[in-house]
Amino acid sequence: MTDLTLLGIAEAGRLMARGELTSADLTEAFLKRIEAVDSRIASYITVTADLARNAARQADREMKGGLRRGPMHGIPVALKDIYETAGVATTGHSHLRKDYVPAIDAETVRRLKDAGAVILGKLGTHEFANGAMTPDQPFPAVRNPWNTNHQPGGSSSGSGAAVAAQLCMGAMGSDTGGSIRNPAGYCATAGIKPTYGLVSRCGIYPLSFSFDTAGPLAWTTEDCALMLDVLAGYDPNDQGSVTAPKVDYGAACHRSLKGLRIALARSWYEGKDAVTPEMKAGIDEAARVLADLGATVEDIVFPDIWDYHICGRVVITAEAHAIHRREVIETPEKFGYTTRRRFQLGAFLTAEQYLSALRFRRQLQQDTRAAMRGYDLVMCANQWGAPETFEEPQPIFHFLGKPSLSMPFNVTGQPAATVCCGFGSDGFPLAFQLAGRAFDEASVFAAGAAYERATGWRSHRPKL
């Protein structure tokens, strides 16, 4: 076998189950690649090499003894550095938490470890998942592995970059306004924001109580599904957690698309604010492929994209200020300049404006369900075009420009996944989103995985 870091989770799991690969060898391959490559993109804040090697050896002993915990057993993954990890620093990419070492794991980390996953380390992020990666923060900015002069998208920036650069097989991110899907799109990985409440957020630094969602990024849709199989489930310690029926997401990736109905939200990305011509062409071709696979794809009109964007920004900004208010007042100098200003903005929102946004959110949820009537999935663009370059000073209120293409599904709480659909003439990835009804991740995975199998984009990797 040549380069073990090119394996996907599903394939590596099958090899280990047959005794043709060890977790120790797989883990060592990733640790060596991190040492050789990560200095160019700075995706890791902390590499837990000794802990990873110990976990890999334990996984091998268990599998040799006949214990197979599932498809994540012995799989090397990494964590966005807002996930608390027992005995390992959890920094939030901030001076305020640079030396914080939790005593226990976040619930999602515990579930990954119980499934036999090997934790390689902690990944860079935007400060507290809200700011930007600026020079006044304690760690270097994460770079896009397709072109290191460009950003990887945020706030799960290290997660997207590390998966794309073959520095882990899967990574945990969080998505409040698109922070899994943005780096997934810009780095050409797969990634899913699950239904709000499906995955525990206990032990993850909060940003917005009513929007925060935890989820995985990986190289393929099927690999994301295998990770979600481990992560999904009720947690009594998360007030937003929901009891939902157990679903085999990995198996769903092999379902037929015959009879599946997809609503194409073309008006979101082809109006006054339009994606690049290459992005439009890529999505049109992806819609054709899905139709050839048996799905029905039809243009449907949804509420204006700006309605979702404005509603989401008001709620997130108000709740983020409430969470960080004391530190913003008492130690503002410890925040990066973009983070501080974004948190401070919430002080200018009134209770009336916040409550109005919550009521408007309810209306948008109802209107979206009505527009989806008779359809299983929504399809739309994932990003407007190429990622931004690194420039100083970075825009503080970036969300005052174009509306967020990911925000609709944060407002509605629906599951939404990113799927790569090619590359532009500039070398950057093209991507679309697939969103399902609440708790129907299975249909999202079925369509995304079928598209990936029918196209060749998963064979393209960045060269570092």
Q: What is the pLDDT of residues 97-122, one digit of tens each?
A: 999 999 999 999 999 999 999 999 99
pLDDT in tens, 24-38: 999 999 999 999 999
Is residue 234 in a domain?
A: yes
Answer yes or no: is 106 within a domain.
Answer: yes
Scanning 178-298, the segments in alpha helix (DSSP H) are 181-187, 221-231, 249-252, 277-292
> Picking from 35-39, 88-92, 129-133, 259-263, which range would have the lowest pLDDT averaged per residue?
129-133
pLDDT at 133 over 90: no
Task: Please check the confidence at residue 396 and state whether its pLDDT lies above 80.
Answer: no
Q: List, by residue number, the catalytic residues.
A: 80, 155, 179
Question: What is the identity of the amino acid at 58?
Answer: Q
In a domain, 59, yes or no: yes
Residues with Cβ < 8 Å from 83, sequence gap 6 or more?
A: 90, 106, 108, 109, 122, 172, 203, 204
> Rounded to an integer, what is the distance from CA 56 to the centroid of its chain?
25
Element (H, E) at 343: helix 337-345
pLDDT of residue 1: 55
Buried b (16+ CB within 10 A) or exposed e, 364-386: beeebeebbeebbbbbbbbbbbb
Cβ-contact 154, 132 below 8 angstroms? yes
Per-residue tokens: 240: 């937003």
- The 10s digit of each residue's pLDDT in 413-448 is 999 999 999 999 999 999 999 999 999 999 999 999
- Is 86:103 a contact under the CB 8 Å cutoff? yes
Give the C-alpha distances (Å, rounded to integers) separating 264 from 66, 304, 336, 369: 47, 14, 39, 14
| pLDDT cut 90: percent of the chain above it | 95
Write down the residue that tokens 């599932």 correspond to.
70
Question: Quick one: pLDDT at residue 397?
Answer: 73
Whole-angstrom distance, CA of residue 436 vs CA of residue 186: 22
pLDDT score of 337 more than 70 = yes
pLDDT > 70? residue 125 = yes
pTM beyond 0.95, yes or no: yes
**pLDDT digits 0-9 by tens, 221-259:** 999 999 999 999 999 999 999 999 999 999 999 999 999
Phi/psi of residue 372, nearest 5 degrees: -85, -5
Question: In terms of residue numbers, what domain contains 199?
Answer: 4-459
Q: In sequence order, what are the residues at sequence separation of 6 or more whose Cβ sits closer than 8 angstroms to the Cβ of residue 377?
A: 260, 261, 262, 263, 434, 435, 436, 443, 444, 447
Q: Determine the Cα–Cα distance for residues 421 and 429; give it in Å rounded to an integer.
A: 7
pLDDT digits (tens, 9 = 90+) for 313-325: 999 999 999 999 9
Residue 67: pLDDT over 80: yes
Whether residue 203 has pLDDT greater than 70? yes
Residue 464 domain-assigned?
A: no
Whether the CB-CB separation of 217 and 184 falls below 8 Å is answered with: yes
Length of the chain: 464
Cα angle 358-363-367, degrees, rounded to a multiple of 5? 145
**Residue 113, domain CATH:** 3.90.1300.10
What is d(CA 175, CA 192) in angstroms, rounded to the nearest whole number?
A: 9
Using CA atoms, how far residue 68 sits from 13, 231, 271, in Å, is 10, 17, 51
> How many structural domains does the chain have?
1
pLDDT at 391 over 60: yes
pLDDT score recorded for residue 186: 98
CA separation (Å) from 356 to 84, 154, 303, 312, 351? 34, 28, 17, 12, 8
pLDDT of residue 54: 98
Of 54 and 394, the structure prediction assigns the larger pLDDT to 54
Q: What is the pLDDT of residue 395?
A: 78
CB neighbour class for 258 (10 Å; exposed up to 12, middle 13-18, buried from 19):
exposed
